[in-house]
Structure 1
Amino acid sequence: MRSYNRFRVDQEIDCRIDGKGVVASLYNLSSGGCMIETDEKLAQEGSEVEINLTNKIAMPGRIVWRVSKNAGIKFDLPLHQKVVEHFGYSEDEEFDRNDPRDRFGIPLVEIRAQAAGMIE
Structure 2
Amino acid sequence: MDERNYERFVVDKDIECYVGERRYNVILYDLSSGGCMIEAPQAPLTDGVVIHLRMNKFIETSGQVVWLAAGNAGVRFGELLHEAAVRHLGFTPSDLPFDEMTPTDRFGRRLPALPRH
For the aligned pair, the TM-score class normalised by the smaller chain equals 0.7 to 0.9
Partner of 1:112: none
Deviation readout 1:57-97 (Å, 9 max, x if unpaired): 21011100000111000000000001101111111267x65
Partner of 1:71: 73
Partner of 2:83: 81
Partner of 2:49: 47
Structure 2 gaps of 5+ residues are 104-116
Aligned residues of 1:18 and 1:42 also touching (Cα < 8 A): no
In the superposition, relative to structure 1, how do residues 43 and 80 fare at CA in structure 2: closer, same or farther (>3 Å)?
A: same
The TM-score normalised by the length of structure 1 is: 0.75
Aligned residues of 1:62 and 1:74 also touching (Cα < 8 A): yes
* Counterparts of residues 79-118 of structure 1 (less than 5 Å): 79-92=81-94, 98=101
Deviation readout 1:87-113 (Å, 9 max, x if unpaired): 11111267x65158xxxxxxxxxxxxx
Return the letter of the residue paired with 1:86. H
- Please give the alpha-carbon distance, in whole angstroms, between the structure 2 residues aligned to 1:41 and 1:98: 37
In the superposition, relative to structure 1, how do residues 92 and 49 fare at CA in structure 2: closer, same or farther (>3 Å)?
A: same
Partner of 1:114: none
Which has more helix, going by share of residues? Answer: 1
Return the letter of the residue paired with 1:98. M
Return the letter of the residue paired with 1:23. N
- Please give the alpha-carbon distance, in whole angstroms, between the structure 1 residues aligned to 2:50 and 2:18: 8
Deviation readout 1:32-69 (Å, 9 max, x if unpaired): 01000011251111111111012232101110000011
Structure 1 gaps of 5+ residues are 101-119
Partner of 2:64: 62
Where does structure 1 differ by over 6 angstroms across 4 or more consecutive aligned residues? none
Aligned residues of 1:18 and 1:47 also touching (Cα < 8 A): no
